[in-house]
Amino acid sequence: MSPQVGIIMGSDSDLNIMQAAADVLKSFGISFELTVVSAHRTPMRMVKYAAAAKERGLKVIIAGAGGAAHLPGMVASITPLPVIGVPIKSSNSIDGWDSVLSILQMPNGIPVATVALNAAKNAGILAASIIGAFDADLGEKVTAYKQQLESEVLHKVDKLKSEGWSNSFD
């Protein structure tokens, strides 16, 4: 099955964060590819990747980057596909804010959906939701996932009640 989602990162040191996106996509049965594409060290590779992504069958790109974090925005400027940016707190990062703002503050006309710092899991869920909007079976899996989250929270509410904590909201 050809990949539907591209997961790219500026360095292999980002893999420990970006693995969460891959894990979520696997859990939903979404095919993906994962590679390193550096906006600064391999700009021609980045251009080639982004320019050919749609023609290769990708539907969404998840791009993780730390520091100056130009990768998601630059890819979004080249491809017509939705790009989800994952800001990563890297070793040269200023508490991650540089990455967050670099991805979040895109100029009008070049949107990048931005998740929280190091939140590759949310990027995977968002990619599944985007594809699921046009794929009924996947849409049902996303709905079931969200219902499971609700069930887990309600179970925690019941547990607090059973332990004697007051609960004024039902």
Q: Provide the annotated binding site for substrate.
A: 11, 14, 41
Virtual torsion, Cα 43, 33, 134, 146, nearest 10 deg: -110
Task: Cite the annotated binding site by residue number.
Answer: 11, 14, 41
Cα angle: 138, vertex 2, 62; to 5 degrees: 65
Token match 């070793």: residue?
Answer: 91
Measured CA to CA, the distance from residue 22 to residue 117 in angstroms comes to 17
Cα separation, 66 vs 134, in Å, equals: 31
Give the whole-angstrom CA distance, residue 83 versus residue 170: 39
Residue where the block lists tokens 């390193």: 36
